């Protein structure tokens, strides 16, 4: 892809959603800016460990986890592993997710994705699991109905090619029902939950057979990467339980029980909750992808960090043609070192830039107008009671392990950076522009002065 030289091309080059594939010329190595190489750490754990590892990767939404996981996949494949990568929100309802839903989605991908790669599991094993699965989930009449439905047209509707084992179609059908149907979702979960040990046992039989087949082909084994689980909606379930703790704390052990290397994404807020110690004990190997430090802990600008953010844009857009230097620096600082917010701001600036100006249409004034849109977005999502807490984070550069700070991390109003150890936190620079934050900050400073 060539570097954009028009506003239209720049708008598309700054797509904030689509992760970059390995070897994409727009990729910028941000290891030094972030303070660590998460991909190398994940890769080392998988390739060195003599037993199967379950690892977590976390970071703010839009920090670049998907891009890094795709890079990990490429590195593992080059090292001789077969990698199954899928995005959880393609298969699952992240507004209402149970751990059995996730296990089903994993089982479906193991069978179907390996089949697509030309790796056929033992037919008798697939038949036995299909029989158990259909008997567990369906009545005899429902099973006959399913068999009638699974003609070529229905299979195509599930997004599955011809030739897959029946169990793959059954699992795809059930995961689709769980994602899209409220009543059937409850019924299927009620039937599967008491059978979860058998479900994990059958899934491990599939994984063991897959690893045997792969090693016969000279491969190192199977690795499972589950992306976008960090998008799991945060909801209070009562009794000090949340949707996040329900998956990773209450059922983390089951996620670790799979007979292959696994990497799951996890909401960064959970790693700072009052359950963080439990999460770390279940998943000893957990990796954080921090923001790009655009400033240091003392609030002084980081020339190195701003330089990396500038390179993120330069890899996609001809800045000399489309932007003034002041506009580029302003966008980089306004992003807070958050790659997705940088792309959102840049895309908005492309829209606001005058079409009749051919050279450097994105000026400082245009960048400020783009920032105003993001300021409005953030102002609408911050609860009133968060402003004093945000002011305290700004002054201390620390977060507490409680629900309010969890939400601030989850909502991106507070960001994590690494500039030496330990990690530190700060308020998103967009939040600094909010009048309510400025009032809260002034009150906090006045209170501190009164104490002295």
- 154 with 236, same domain: the answer is yes
**Residue 129 included in any domain:** yes
Rounded to 5 degrees, φ, ψ at 129 are -70, -35
- 47 with 152, same domain: the answer is yes
Q: Is the pTM of this model over 0.75?
A: yes
- 282 with 310, same domain: the answer is no
Closest C-alpha among 353, 400, 435, 273 to residue 4: 353
What percent of the chain is helix, strand and coil (3-state, nearest 5)?
Answer: 60, 10, 30
Domain boundary among 268, 289, 310: 289
Q: DSSP of 357-396, one letter per residue?
A: --S--B-HHHHHHHHHHHHHHHHHH--TTHHHHHHHHHHH
- 232 with 362, same domain: the answer is no
Domain boundary among 238, 258, 289: 289
The answer to whether 337 and 292 have CB atoms below 8 angstroms apart is yes
Query: pLDDT tens digits for the chain (452 residues)?
Result: 689 999 999 999 999 998 888 889 999 988 888 877 899 999 999 999 999 999 999 999 889 999 999 999 999 999 999 999 999 999 999 999 999 999 999 999 999 999 989 898 999 999 999 889 888 887 777 777 777 766 654 555 555 556 678 788 888 888 888 888 777 888 888 998 999 999 999 999 999 999 999 999 999 999 999 999 999 999 888 888 899 999 999 999 999 999 999 999 999 989 888 888 999 999 999 999 989 989 989 999 999 999 999 999 999 999 999 999 999 999 999 999 999 999 999 999 999 999 988 899 999 999 999 999 999 999 999 999 999 999 999 999 999 988 899 999 999 999 999 866 688 999 999 999 999 999 999 999 998 888 76
**Residue 20 included in any domain:** no
**Residue 30 included in any domain:** no
When divided into structural domains, the chain yields a total of 3
Burial bucket for residue 359 (CB in 10 Å: 0-12, 13-18, 19+): exposed
- 402 with 350, same domain: the answer is no
- 103 with 230, same domain: the answer is yes
Per-residue pLDDT, 162: 63
Task: Give 257-268 as a 3 state SS string.
Answer: CCCCEEEEEECH
The answer to whether 288 and 268 have CB atoms below 8 angstroms apart is yes
Q: Cα separation of 404 and 402, whole Å?
A: 6
CATH of the domain at 297: 1.10.8.60
- 281 with 152, same domain: the answer is yes
Q: Cα separation of 412 and 318, whole Å?
A: 29
Q: Cα separation of 84 and 175, whole Å?
A: 17
Closest C-alpha among 296, 371, 357 to residue 327: 371
The answer to whether 416 and 297 have CB atoms below 8 angstroms apart is no
**Residue 144 included in any domain:** yes
Range of the domain at 417: 386-451
């Amino acid at each position: 892809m060539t570097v954009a030289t028009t506003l239209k091309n720049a708008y598309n080059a700054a797509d904030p959603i689509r992760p970059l594939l390995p070897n994409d010329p727009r990729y910028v190595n941000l290891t030094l800016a972030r303070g660590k190489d998460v991909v190398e750490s994940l890769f080392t754990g998988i390739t060195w460990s003599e037993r199967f590892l379950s690892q977590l990767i976390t970071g703010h939404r839009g920090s670049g986890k998907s891009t890094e996981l795709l890079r990990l996949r490429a590195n593992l494949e080059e090292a001789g592993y077969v990698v199954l990568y899928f995005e959880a929100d393609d298969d699952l309802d992240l507004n209402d997710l149970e751990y059995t839903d996730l296990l089903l989605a994993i089982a479906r991908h193991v069978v179907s994705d390996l089949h697509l790669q030309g790796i056929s599991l033992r037919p008798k094993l697939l038949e036995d699991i299909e029989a158990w699965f259909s008997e567990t989930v369906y009545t005899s009449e429902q099973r006959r109905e399913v068999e009638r439905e699974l003609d070529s047209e229905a299979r195509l509707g599930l997004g599955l090619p011809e030739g897959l084992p029946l169990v793959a179609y059954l699992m795809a059908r059930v995961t689709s029902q769980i994602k899209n149907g409220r009543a059937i979702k409850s019924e299927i979960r009620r039937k599967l939950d008491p059978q979860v040990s058998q479900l994990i046992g059958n899934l491990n039989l599939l994984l063991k057979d897959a690893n045997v087949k792969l090693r016969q082909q000279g491969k190192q084994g199977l690795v499972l990467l589950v992306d976008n689980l960090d998008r799991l909606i945060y909801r209070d379930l009562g009794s000090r339980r949340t949707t996040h703790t329900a998956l990773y704390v209450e059922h983390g052990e089951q996620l670790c029980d799979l007979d292959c290397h696994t990497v799951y994404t996890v909401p960064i807020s959970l790693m700072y909750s009052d359950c963080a110690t439990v999460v770390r004990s279940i998943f000893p190997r957990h990796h954080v992808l921090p923001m790009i430090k655009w400033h240091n802990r003392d609030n002084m600008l980081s020339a190195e960090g701003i330089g990396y953010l500038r390179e993120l844009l330069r890899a996609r857009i001809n800045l000399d043609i489309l932007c003034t230097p002041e506009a580029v620096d302003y966008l980089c600082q306004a992003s807070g070192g958050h790659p997705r917010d940088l792309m959102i701001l840049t895309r908005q600036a492309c829209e606001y830039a005058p079409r009749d100006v051919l050279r450097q249409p994105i000026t400082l004034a245009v960048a400020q107008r783009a920032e105003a849109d993001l300021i409005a977005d953030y102002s609408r999502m911050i609860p009133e009671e968060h402003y004093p807490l945000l002011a305290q984070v700004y002054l201390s550069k620390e977060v507490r392990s409680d629900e309010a700070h969890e939400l601030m991390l989850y909502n991106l109003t507070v960001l994590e950076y690494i500039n030496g150890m330990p990690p530190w936190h700060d308020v998103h620079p967009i939040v600094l522009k909010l009048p309510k934050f400025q009032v809260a900050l002034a009150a906090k400073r006045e209170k501190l002065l009164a104490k002295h």
